[in-house]
Structure 1
Amino acid sequence: MKGSLRWKPDQTSKIPIFKQIAGHLKERILSGEWTAGSRIPAQRQLAGQFGVNRSTIVTALEELKAEGLLEGITGSGTRVRSTPAAGPDSSRSLDWDAYIRRGIHMPNLPAVQAINRAEADPAVVRLGTGELAPELIPSGMLQRMLGRLARQPLPGGYEEPLGSPALRSEVSRHLAGYGITASPSSILIVSGALQALHLISMGILRQGATVFLENPSYLHSIHAMPAVHTRMAGIPMDGEGLRVDRLSEHAEDMNGAVLYTIPSFHNPSGIVMSGPRRAELLRFCTEHGLPLLEDDVYRDLWLDAPPPPPIKSMDAGGITLYIGSLSKTLSPGLRVGWVVGPQPVVERLADIKMQTDYGTSSISQALARECLAGGLYEEHLLRVREQLLIRRSAMQEALEQHCQGLLEWSTPQGGFYIWAKVPARSGAKPLFQRMLKKGFLLNPGYVYGPSCGAYLRLSYAYAPIPDMQRGIRELGALLRQ
C-alpha cells in the first residue's frame, strides 16, 4: 500500500468517511496491489494512516467483507479473500502471500517495520533516527559540485568492478589520515555499509556460521546476512567496549566464524572502544584466526575528542575488513561506502557485487570523489560537529529537566545516540507504542538484542531542537505515569 500512503478521506465530502475508506481499500484489491491471501494492515495502523477513529475502520472493513472482498481469519487478522465471491469478473488470483512466506530472506522485526513506516510520515517527530537532519546535509555544496560535474563529460557508463579508480585513490588518501595504509587495489566501493555486510555474508561466510558481535548491536535490527543462516552470538560490553575476556569463552565456536564490531561511537550504546581494548581484540582475533569486521561509519562524528586509531591501522596481518561510508557524515542518499581488506577478499566481494547491481552509481562515485578532494569534506565535518554539539547539549538538558531519576544515561563522546535505560515497570515496548501514538518516534532497545528490552535509543541528530525538547517532555510525562 506504499503508493497510497498520502491518501486521506475528504472530510468535506457528502460521501460518508467509512465509504470513502472502503472505496479506497477496494481499489487496492481490484488493482492487484493487495492480492488473494494478503494480510491487510491492522485496524489501528489504518486508523492512524487515515486520521480517523478505529470504529470508522471497522465499519469500512465490514462493508468490504459483505462484498466478499475480505475475510477475517482467527489468529491471522483480516485478509483478502483467497476465493472471491462469485460474479461475472471472478477469477482465482495467484497466492503471492504463499510465495512471500517461502522467501529465504527473513522479514524485519515488526517494530522495525513500524519504525520504517513512521519515518515516512512527515507529521512524526523522529527521536531515534540514525541520520543527519536535512539542514545538516550540505545541499548547497553538493549542488555546486553537481554543477561542476555537469560541465564535464558525465560518467554514464559502468565503472570497474572495484569502483571508480579516481574515487578509490581519494579514499586511499582519506584513510591514510587514520593511519590505514590501503592501496586502491585493496578498496571496493559499495552502495553504503549495509551492502558491504551483505556482500561479506555472501562472499566469505559458510552455512550456519557464527557471527560474534557486541550486545547490544545494530546488526540485530536488520537481516544483513541473507545468503546464509547465521548464528548471532552477543558478547557483553563495558565502558571500554566489547569484553575480550568474555569472547574467549567461545573459543570452540571460532571455526568459520567472524567478529563484527562498531568500535567508534557504537550503535546503539555510543560507547567508544579504548585503544588498549582495540589492541587486545586484534591480538585475540589474530591468535584464533578470527576475521574481524570493523564498521567505522561513525568515526568522523567525534564531538569531545577523536576516537583511538582504527583497529585496521594496527593490523599487519590483514585479518581486518574495514567498512566506511559517507551516509552518516555527508548524505544518506549518496549511497557510497567502501570495504578495505586483502586484495583476494575485495576481488571476491567485487565479483559478487557485479552479479547483483553491476556497480555503485557512477554519478554518486564522481560526487563522492569531489567531496573528498580539496578539503571540502573536512570543512563540512567542522560544521556538522558544531551542530551536533549543540543538539547533544539540547537533548541532555531536556533529559535532565524532564527525565532525571526516571531514565539512566551517560553522555556520548560523539556519534548520534544516547542509550537510555528505563525503569522495569515501564519497559521500552509500551513507551515506544505510546510515544508513537502521540506523534513521537523513538527506537526501543529490544530491536538491538534480546536482552535490551529495558532500553531506548535516542538520537539528537535528526529532529529539530524544539521538537526534540517537546518529545523528551512527553517521554518524561509518560514515565511519571
Structure 2
Amino acid sequence: MFEINWRPDKTYPMPLHLQIVGYIKEKITLNEWSIGTKLPSQRTLAKLFAVNRSTIIAAMDELAAEGIIQGNTGGGTKIINNTWNLMNKNYNWNGYISSGNHQPNHMIIQQINEAESDPEMIRMGSCEPASELIPQEKIQGILKKLSVSSQPLGYEEPRGSLFLRKEICNYLKTIGIVANPSSILITSGALQGLQLISLGLLHANSIVYLEKPSYLYSLRTFQSFGMQLLGIPFEETGINIKKLSERHKSKQGSILFTIPTFHNPTGTVMPLEKRKELIHFCEKEGLPIIEDDVYREIWFEDSPPPPLKALDNNGLVLYVGGISKNLSPGLRIGWIVGPEQVIARLSDIKMQSDYGSSSLSQNVAAELFASGLYKEHNEILRKKVKVRRDTALTALNEHFNEIATWNIPKGGYFIWLKLNYPISMYQLFVKALNRKVLIHPGDLYEFRSNQHIRISYSNTTLAEISQGIKILSELVLEQLQ
C-alpha cells in the first residue's frame, strides 16, 4: 500500500521533516493516500524515508497541527483531511481553503515557480522564449504608433478585438484553417482557453483523454472541476489510436486533448496520414477534440503538417493557439477557434470572468499580424532557436552518450531525455536546484516516470545550455553509482 521510493534530500536547505510533510501533503492531494487511510508506524516511516524517528515525530506533529492527520490511542494515526491550514495567527482560513474548487499546484511545480525568478538559475525547464528572442524593438515601435493614434483602450467585444480576429483569420488561412471572426475567441493566453472549455463545455464526471506523457498532467485545470484524466499510450508517431478506441467507452461528456505538433514533452510531430486517421476515428465516435497548437511556428527545416482543425469538416475540433511561446509571453494573447455557438458560450463565460483580454495587448498583436512583422519575426526566431537546439544536442552527445537516449526535435523548445536506468527524479530535481539548474522531471508529465527529463533550450544562453547539461550529467552519474 505505502510504496515510497522517495527520500528527503539532506543537502537541501529545507529541514528534513518539512520535506516529508510536503511529500505526504502531495500524496494526499493527488488522492494516492485517501482520507481514512491509516499511516504506518513511526518506526516503519523512519525506515521508509531513511531518517531518524525524531524526524518522523516532528513531521507528524506538523501534520497533526495543521489538521491533516490524527492519532488515536490504540487506533494508530489516520489521515483526516486533504487540505491544510495557512497557519495565519489572526484568522483560520482553513474552512474557506478546503471548500475551494481549484486544487493546489503539484509540489514540484510550486518549487519551479519560485525558482524561476532567481537570476542565477539556468532555466532548463522553461518553455518560453528568452528575452533576447522577443522582438522588443518591433513591439516598442508598435506601442509608439498606437500612442499617437488615439486608439481607445476601452473594453473590446465579448469575442475580442474584431481587428485582431480578422488578422488571425488571415493567418489561419496560411496553415489551412478557414474561419470567420465570429468563430474565434481571444483569450488571455492559451491556458485560459483550456480553463474556459472546462468551465463551459464539460461537467464534473467528464473524461479527458490525453497522450501519456502529456503537459496536461502538470496542470490542475481539469481535475479541479472533478474531471478524470485518462492517459492513452504514446507511440513514435503520436497518440495510439487503437488504444484510444479500446478505452473510449463513454459517448457523453468525454473529449480528447492532443498536441499533435511538437508535442509537449516529447517533441513528436504527428504525420499527416495519422492526423487524418485520428479525425476519422473521432468523427465516427462523436468524440470532440481540443487541439493545442501553440508551438506550430517554431519549426527548423520543414513546416509541420496542417493542424487537425484544417482537416475538420464537422466542427469537431476546438483549436487553441497563441503567441506566448513564439512571440511574447507578456502580451497574454491566445485564441480558440470553433463552432460559433461554442465560441458564443465560451465568450459569455470569459466576459463573466475578466470582461475581456487587455485591449492594449490585442491592439499590439493585431498590428504585428497586419504589418507582416509576425511572419518576419518567426523566420528569425526559427534560426536562433535551431542554434540553441544544436548546442543542446552537442552537449548531450558529450555528456549523456553512455547513460541516456533522446529525440532530435524538428521544432519546439524541448528534448525528451530517457535515462538508461531509473533514478529518484525528485532527488535529481532538488540536487540540480542546489547547483542552480532548473529542470522538469518526467513525473510531471507521466505518473511515476523515473527515467525521463524534459530539457528546454529556449530560455538560456548557449553557454548556459552546455553548462547546465554538464552539471545534470554529473548529478545523474552520482545517483547511478
TM over 0.5: yes
In 2, Cα distance between equivalents of 1:384 and 1:330: 9
Name the structure 1 match of 2:128. Answer: 131
Name the structure 1 match of 2:402. Answer: 405
In 2, Cα distance between equivalents of 1:114 and 1:92: 25
Corresponding position: 1:102 with 2:88: no
Deviation at 1:46, TM superposition (A): 6.1
Mapping of residues 397-436 of structure 1, within 5 Å: 397-436=394-433
Deviation at 1:360, TM superposition (A): 0.3
Name the structure 2 match of 1:74. Answer: 60
Query: Deviation per CA, 1:34-53, whole angstroms, max 9, x where unpaired?
Result: xxxxxxxx995569xxxxxx
The equivalent position to 1:166 in structure 2, one of 159, 163, 167, is: 163
In 1, Cα distance between equivalents of 2:454 and 2:257: 20
In 2, Cα distance between equivalents of 1:451 and 1:100: 28
Query: Deviation per CA, 1:280-301, whole angstroms, max 9, x where unpaired?
Result: 1101111111111011000000
Name the structure 1 match of 2:340. Answer: 343
Which amino acid is 1:74 matched to? Answer: M
In 2, Cα distance between equivalents of 1:154 and 1:111: 43
Identity %: 42
Deviation at 1:425, TM superposition (A): 4.2
Name the structure 1 match of 2:32. Answer: none
Deviation at 1:339, TM superposition (A): 0.3
Instruction: Out of 222-231 and 138-147, give the one that drifted further.
Output: 222-231
Query: Deviation per CA, 1:216-267, whole angstroms, max 9, x where unpaired?
Result: 1101101122662111011111111111111001231342100000010000
Corresponding position: 1:258 with 2:255: yes
Q: In structure 2, do the counterparts of structure 1 residues 287 and 425 end up closer, same or farther at CA, with 3 Å as the change threshold?
A: closer
Contact 2:404 2:417 in 1 (8 A): yes
Which amino acid is 1:402 matched to? Answer: H
Instruction: Out of 207-216 and 96-105, give the one that drifted further.
Output: 96-105
Contact 2:159 2:347 in 1 (8 A): yes
The equivalent position to 2:180 in structure 1, one of 178, 183, 191, is: 183
In 2, Cα distance between equivalents of 1:134 and 1:314: 35
Query: Deviation per CA, 1:391-422, whole angstroms, max 9, x where unpaired?
Result: 00000000000111111101011000100012
The equivalent position to 2:299 in structure 1, one of 299, 302, 316, is: 302
| Number of aligned residue pairs | 408
Corresponding position: 1:287 with 2:284: yes
Query: Deviation per CA, 1:99-127, whole angstroms, max 9, x where unpaired?
Result: 22332110011011111111111121101
Contact 1:155 1:363 in 2 (8 A): no
The equivalent position to 1:473 in structure 2, one of 465, 470, 474, is: 470
Aligned-CA RMSD value: 2.1
Corresponding position: 1:392 with 2:378: no
In 2, Cα distance between equivalents of 1:284 and 1:442: 36
In 1, Cα distance between equivalents of 2:122 and 2:415: 17
The equivalent position to 1:204 in structure 2, one of 201, 205, 211, is: 201
In 2, Cα distance between equivalents of 1:75 and 1:316: 60
Contact 1:261 1:295 in 2 (8 A): yes
Q: In structure 2, do the counterparts of structure 1 residues 75 and 238 end up closer, same or farther at CA, with 3 Å as the change threshold?
A: farther
SS at match of 1:408: strand
Corresponding position: 1:359 with 2:356: yes
Contact 1:193 1:338 in 2 (8 A): yes
Name the structure 1 match of 2:319. Answer: 322
The equivalent position to 2:275 in structure 1, one of 274, 278, 288, is: 278
Corresponding position: 1:122 with 2:119: yes
Corresponding position: 1:267 with 2:253: no
So what's the TM-score if we normalise by structure 1?
0.81
In 1, Cα distance between equivalents of 2:169 and 2:359: 18
SS at match of 1:74: helix
Contact 2:322 2:333 in 1 (8 A): yes
Structure 1 unaligned runs (5+)?
A: 1-41, 48-71, 82-90
So what's the TM-score if we normalise by structure 2?
0.81
Contact 2:158 2:347 in 1 (8 A): yes
Corresponding position: 1:228 with 2:225: yes
In 2, Cα distance between equivalents of 1:236 and 1:227: 23
